[in-house]
Structure 1
Amino acid sequence: MFHNEDNVRPYVVGAYRFRVELDGMWVAGFSEVSGLSMETEIHEVPEGGLNQFVHRLPGRIKLEPLILKRGMTMTNELWKWYMQVVNGKIARRNGSIIMYDEQDEEFRRWNFYDAYPSKWTGPELNAISSEVAIESIELVHNGFRKVKI
């Protein structure tokens, strides 16, 4: 039996119970969220006389845009938010991506900050398909923090 340093049995949660909040409000039922990623840039510095390796030093943190996808609905709040950016009015919003466990209790939360839409994508239309029409919006942001639950 595996035990971690806190002597707690490992628990794995499904990736299908989640929701997204913007400015504390649940704005839509998204079917997919991606881009919850950060990466440290590495600067390679060769040192004269040492040919066996190169020093690798940490640099800036690179953040991916959050990509939120959902089925098309009667509401247009994502489109309107993006059109504000197109018209030169950037309305930044804070938000959260929240995962739930099997009992619908909050399991993890990632709060992201100062986000605004940088891209909106409409559905791919195909007359011979019966798939749901999906729209997506990409949000650039100034970082996120995992909140311990």
Structure 2
Amino acid sequence: MPLPDLDSSVGHSFGLEIDAVLIRQITEVTGLKMEQDVIELKQNTADGKYAIKKLPGRPKAGEVTLTRGLTEDNSFESWITDSRFGRMSSARRNGSIIVYDYEGIPIKRYKLVNAWPKSLEISTLKAGDTSVLTEKLVITYESMEVE
């Protein structure tokens, strides 16, 4: 459902969908971007002046970091185990980061192509601390498509 022209999206509700499994407990997504190389073409113009023209180059692969509260769900751990032991045929997956509106309707989808987990980090364990334990999963992907 597209937003009206003057409204903007509030990033309060989003989730990760991998192999038709939706994980909605994600609390933060960082590093989501599309990027490509820049090629500099150095040349002389018709009147003899030196000019640099910038051209689009190859697309770059990306990385995104997902943070969620620590739960008994072990989907992140089992996914990274596949990549750690070289089972890349099962580790490489296509998935999407989905942004929802206030009514829970998807308004934007960032599709990650050939994504696999690079690292999993558990927050600091400290006796007497009352903060929520989190896990951060860094996912590397070959390309991203916006739907």
TM-score, normalising length from structure 1?
A: 0.83
> Which residue number in structure 2 is paired with residue 54 of structure 1?
52
In structure 2, distance between residues paired with 1:136 and 1:76: 13
Residue aligned with 2:26, SS: coil
Q: Deviations over 1:49-102 (max 9, x none)?
A: 533x42212111123212111111112221121112111111211111111112
Q: Which amino acid aligns with 2:20?
A: G
1:61-72 alignment, distance < 5 Å:
61-72=59-70
How far has the Cα of 1:120 moved from its partner?
1.4
In structure 1, distance between residues paired with 2:49 and 2:129: 60
CA contact (8 A) 1:37 1:63 kept: no
> Which residue number in structure 2 is paired with residue 15 of structure 1?
11
Q: Which has the higher strand share?
A: 2
1:33-112 alignment, distance < 5 Å:
33-48=29-44, 50-51=49-50, 53-90=51-88, 91-112=91-112
CA contact (8 A) 1:34 1:67 kept: yes
In structure 2, distance between residues paired with 1:9 and 1:94: 31
Identical counterparts, % of pairs:
29
Residue aligned with 2:15, SS: strand
> Which residue number in structure 2 is paired with residue 4 of structure 1?
none
Q: Which runs of 4+ in 1 moved over 4 A?
A: none
Residue aligned with 2:43, SS: coil
Q: Which amino acid aligns with 1:134?
A: T
In structure 1, distance between residues paired with 2:74 and 2:100: 26
CA contact (8 A) 1:110 1:146 kept: yes
CA-based RMSD of the aligned residues comes to 1.8
Structure 1: gaps spanning 5 or more residues: 1-7
Aligned length: 139
Q: Deviations over 1:16-65 (max 9, x none)?
A: 111111011113511111222011211223225533x4221211112321
Structure 2: gaps spanning 5 or more residues: none
In structure 1, distance between residues paired with 2:49 and 2:86: 52
How far has the Cα of 1:15 moved from its partner?
0.7
Residue aligned with 1:75, SS: coil
Q: Deviations over 1:89-125 (max 9, x none)?
A: 1121111111111222221112222111111112122
